[in-house]
Structure 1
Amino acid sequence: MNLYGIEIDSKNVPELDPAFIPILKFNRAFLKDAAKPVSIAVERAGGQIATTHTFIHGTPEMAAADRYYIDRLVKTELWMKGGYKVYVNDKDIYDYLRGVYCEGGARAFDWEFMADVFEKPFEVVLTGDIPETLDKPVPMGGHLEGCRIGFDAGGSDRKVSAVIDGETVFSEEVVWLPKVNPDPTYHYEGIVSALKSAAAHMPRVDAVGVSSAGIYINNRTMKASLFLKVPKDLYEEKVKDIYIRAITDTFGDVPYAVANDGDVSALAGTMSLNDNNVLGIAMGTSEAVGYVDENGQITGWLNELAFVPVDASPDAMQDEWSGDIGCGVKYFCQDGVNKLAPRAGIELDESLSPAEKLKVTQKLMEADDPRAAKVYESIGCYLGHTLAYYYEKYGFRYVLLLGRVMSGKGGDLLLEKCQQVLNDEYPEAAAGFKLTLPDEKFRRVGQSMAAASLPELKR
Structure 2
Amino acid sequence: MNIDVTVRPELDPDFLPAVLWNREYKEAVRESGNPVCVSIALVRPDDTCTIFETCILPFTANNDADTLRYLERILKFLLWQRGGYKVLIAGCDPVAEKLAAIYAPGGVRAFDYWFFGDQTYLQPLEISACRFDAIPVAYEAVMPLGRHTDGCRIGFDLGGSDRKCAALKDGEVLYTEEVEWNPYFENDSSYHIEGINESLQRAASYLPRVDAIGGSSAGVYVNNEVRVASLFRGVSPDGFEQNVRRIFFDLKERWGGVPFEVVNDGEVTALAGSMSLEENAVLGLAMGTSEAVGYVTPEGTLTPMLNELAFAPVDYRADAPTDEWSGDVGCGVQYFSQQAVARLAPAAGFEFPKDMLFPEQLIQVQKAMASGDERAKKIYSTIGTYLGYTVAHYAEFYEIRKILLLGRVMSGKGGSVILQYAREVLAAEFPIIGKQVELVTLSEKDKRHGQAVAAATLPMIVK
Do they fold alike, i.e. is TM over 0.5?
yes
Aligned to 1:229: 234
Amino acid in structure 2 at the alignment position of 1:111: Y
Task: Quote how far apart the aligned CAs of 1:442 are.
Answer: 3.5
Q: Decide whether aligned partners of structure 1 residues 339 and 159 sit closer, same or farther in structure 2, where only a CA change above 3 A counts.
A: closer
Aligned to 1:60: 61
> Could you tell me how far apart the structure 1 residues matched to 2:166 and 2:107 are?
46
Report matched runs for 1:182-221 at 5 Å.
182-199=187-204, 201-221=206-226
> Could you tell me how far apart the structure 2 residues matched to 1:337 and 1:173 are?
22
Q: Decide whether aligned partners of structure 1 residues 347 and 160 sit closer, same or farther in structure 2, where only a CA change above 3 A counts.
A: closer
Aligned to 2:282: 278
Structure 1, 275-284 or 434-443: larger mean CA deviation:
434-443
Residues 401 and 437 in structure 1, CA contact (< 8 A), matched pair in contact too: yes
Aligned to 2:95: 93
Q: CA offsets per residue over residues 76-124 of structure 1, 9 Å max, x none?
A: 0011111211111221112111111111111001110111111111111
Aligned to 2:370: 366
> Could you tell me how far apart the structure 2 residues matched to 1:237 and 1:154 are?
22
Aligned to 1:82: 83
Alignment of 1:123 with 2:126, yes or no, is yes
Amino acid in structure 1 at the alignment position of 2:17: P
Amino acid in structure 2 at the alignment position of 1:50: T
Residues 271 and 442 in structure 1, CA contact (< 8 A), matched pair in contact too: no
Task: Quote how far apart the aligned CAs of 1:290 are.
Answer: 2.1
Aligned to 2:32: none
Aligned to 1:20: 15
> Could you tell me how far apart the structure 1 residues matched to 2:448 and 2:292 are?
21
Aligned length: 453
* Structure 2 residue matching 1:376: 3-state secondary structure: helix
**Which residue of the other structure, out of 244, 250, 255, is the alignment partner of 1:239?**
244
Report matched runs for 1:142-161 at 5 Å.
142-161=147-166
**Which residue of the other structure, out of 308, 313, 322, is the alignment partner of 1:309?**
313
Structure 1, 406-415 or 418-427: larger mean CA deviation:
406-415
* Structure 1 residue matching 2:46: 3-state secondary structure: helix
> Could you tell me how far apart the structure 2 residues matched to 1:407 and 1:74 are?
33
> Could you tell me how far apart the structure 2 residues matched to 1:196 and 1:414 are?
37
Q: Decide whether aligned partners of structure 1 residues 21 and 200 sit closer, same or farther in structure 2, where only a CA change above 3 A counts.
A: closer
Aligned to 1:334: 338
Alignment of 1:390 with 2:385, yes or no, is no
> Could you tell me how far apart the structure 1 residues matched to 2:175 and 2:106 are?
51
Task: Quote how far apart the aligned CAs of 1:346 are.
Answer: 3.9
Amino acid in structure 2 at the alignment position of 1:243: F
Residues 412 and 444 in structure 2, CA contact (< 8 A), matched pair in contact too: no
Q: Decide whether aligned partners of structure 1 residues 85 and 339 sit closer, same or farther in structure 2, where only a CA change above 3 A counts.
A: same
Residues 100 and 107 in structure 1, CA contact (< 8 A), matched pair in contact too: yes
Residues 116 and 125 in structure 2, CA contact (< 8 A), matched pair in contact too: yes
> Could you tell me how far apart the structure 2 residues matched to 1:357 and 1:444 are?
18
Structure 1, 51-60 or 439-448: larger mean CA deviation:
439-448
> Could you tell me how far apart the structure 1 residues matched to 2:413 and 2:205 are?
42
> Could you tell me how far apart the structure 2 residues matched to 1:189 and 1:348 are?
33
Alignment of 1:49 with 2:49, yes or no, is yes
Q: CA offsets per residue over residues 298-327 of structure 1, 9 Å max, x none?
A: 222211111111111122111121111111
Q: Decide whether aligned partners of structure 1 residues 313 and 155 sit closer, same or farther in structure 2, where only a CA change above 3 A counts.
A: closer
Residues 179 and 228 in structure 1, CA contact (< 8 A), matched pair in contact too: yes
Aligned to 2:455: 451
C-alpha RMSD of matched pairs (Å)? 2.3
Unaligned runs of 5+ in 1: none
Structure 1, 301-310 or 147-156: larger mean CA deviation:
147-156
Residues 40 and 87 in structure 2, CA contact (< 8 A), matched pair in contact too: yes
Give the TM-score normalised by the residue count of structure 2: 0.91
Aligned to 2:108: 106
Q: Decide whether aligned partners of structure 1 residues 340 and 153 sit closer, same or farther in structure 2, where only a CA change above 3 A counts.
A: closer
Q: Decide whether aligned partners of structure 1 residues 320 and 32 sit closer, same or farther in structure 2, where only a CA change above 3 A counts.
A: same
**Which residue of the other structure, out of 247, 250, 253, is the alignment partner of 2:255?**
250
Give the TM-score normalised by the residue count of structure 1: 0.91
* Structure 2 residue matching 1:320: 3-state secondary structure: coil
Q: Decide whether aligned partners of structure 1 residues 295 and 155 sit closer, same or farther in structure 2, where only a CA change above 3 A counts.
A: same
Amino acid in structure 2 at the alignment position of 1:30: Y
Structure 1, 141-150 or 433-442: larger mean CA deviation:
433-442
Unaligned runs of 5+ in 2: 30-34
Residues 348 and 360 in structure 1, CA contact (< 8 A), matched pair in contact too: no
Task: Quote how far apart the aligned CAs of 1:367 are.
Answer: 3.6
Residues 160 and 289 in structure 2, CA contact (< 8 A), matched pair in contact too: no
* Structure 2 residue matching 1:42: 3-state secondary structure: strand
Task: Quote how far apart the aligned CAs of 1:32 are.
Answer: 1.8
Q: Decide whether aligned partners of structure 1 residues 431 and 186 sit closer, same or farther in structure 2, where only a CA change above 3 A counts.
A: same
Residues 50 and 77 in structure 1, CA contact (< 8 A), matched pair in contact too: no
Q: Decide whether aligned partners of structure 1 residues 410 and 188 sit closer, same or farther in structure 2, where only a CA change above 3 A counts.
A: closer
> Could you tell me how far apart the structure 2 residues matched to 1:168 and 1:374 are?
37
Structure 1, 178-187 or 35-44: larger mean CA deviation:
178-187
Q: Decide whether aligned partners of structure 1 residues 118 and 436 sit closer, same or farther in structure 2, where only a CA change above 3 A counts.
A: same
Q: Decide whether aligned partners of structure 1 residues 435 and 62 sit closer, same or farther in structure 2, where only a CA change above 3 A counts.
A: same
Q: CA offsets per residue over residues 428-457 of structure 1, 9 Å max, x none?
A: 211111111112683697333211110122
Residues 100 and 108 in structure 1, CA contact (< 8 A), matched pair in contact too: yes
**Which residue of the other structure, out of 404, 414, 417, is the alignment partner of 1:400?**
404
* Structure 2 residue matching 1:343: 3-state secondary structure: helix
